[in-house]
């Protein structure tokens, strides 16, 4: 019995010796967004990705992520979306000469006009978040494609889920 108790105490002591930084221990980002997490400055991976030019679309896709997804008939940002956008903020701050276009997309359900408006609300939600986190809004354009440019074909939830998105493109539409 004593060996079990001593073993448990040793395990607890070992686990407690592994310290992790608390979430609130970082410096303030100064973004003015309530409860905003600090945004790290983007630094490319050591050695970089072979053949990937810093500040390019491929750099964004490979090292950060270029899209966020939305729920059905929604344009609010999920926690997963915010995590991706926080990485985009850091990437944009690390590449100050880059401009981007946020494309808003919708699934095939609904009218063309409705989906264009929904895509616009999704793109603007992303732009507003980037701006709130310190990205100059003049560097960010928006465009809505509604349901006109699906990435997944099919009339099922798996396809619809992939098509309810915003995509950040370097330079982008009209650039």
How does pLDDT run along the chain (175 residues), one tens digit per residue? Answer: 555 444 454 444 433 444 333 333 333 333 334 444 444 554 555 445 567 899 999 999 999 999 999 999 999 999 999 999 999 999 999 999 999 999 999 999 999 999 999 999 999 999 999 999 999 999 999 999 999 999 999 999 999 999 999 999 998 664 4
At residue 98, the pLDDT reads 97
Specify the residue for token string 């686990």. 15
Alpha-helical segments (H) within 18-78? 57-63
pTM for the structure as a whole: 0.72
Burial of 9 (0-12, 13-18, 19+ CB in 10 A): exposed
Q: What is the CATH number of domain 84-105+116-151?
A: 3.30.1330.60
3-state secondary structure of 119: helix
Polymer length of the chain: 175
- The pLDDT of residue 51 is 73
Q: Rounded distance, CA 3 to CA 66, Å?
A: 54
Residue 98's closest CA among 111, 89, 87, 107?
A: 89
């Amino acid at each position: 019995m004593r060996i079990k108790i001593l073993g448990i105490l040793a395990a607890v002591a070992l686990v407690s010796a592994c310290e992790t930084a608390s979430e609130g221990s970082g410096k303030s980002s100064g973004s003015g967004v309530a409860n905003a997490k600090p945004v790290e400055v983007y630094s490319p991976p050591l050695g970089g990705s072979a053949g990937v030019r810093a500040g390019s679309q491929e750099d964004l896709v490979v090292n950060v992520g270029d899209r966020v997804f939305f729920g059905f008939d929604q344009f609010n940002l999920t926690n997963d979306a915010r995590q991706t956008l926080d990485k985009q903020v850091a990437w944009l701050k690390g590449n100050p000469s880059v401009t981007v276009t946020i494309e808003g997309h919708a699934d095939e359900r609904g009218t063309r006009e409705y989906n264009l408006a929904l895509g616009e609300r999704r793109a603007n939600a992303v732009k507003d978040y980037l701006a709130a986190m310190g990205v100059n809004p003049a560097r960010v354009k928006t465009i809505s494609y509604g349901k006109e440019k699906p990435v997944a074909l099919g009339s099922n939830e798996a396809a619809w889920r992939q098509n309810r998105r915003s995509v950040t493109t370097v330079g982008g539409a009209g650039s």
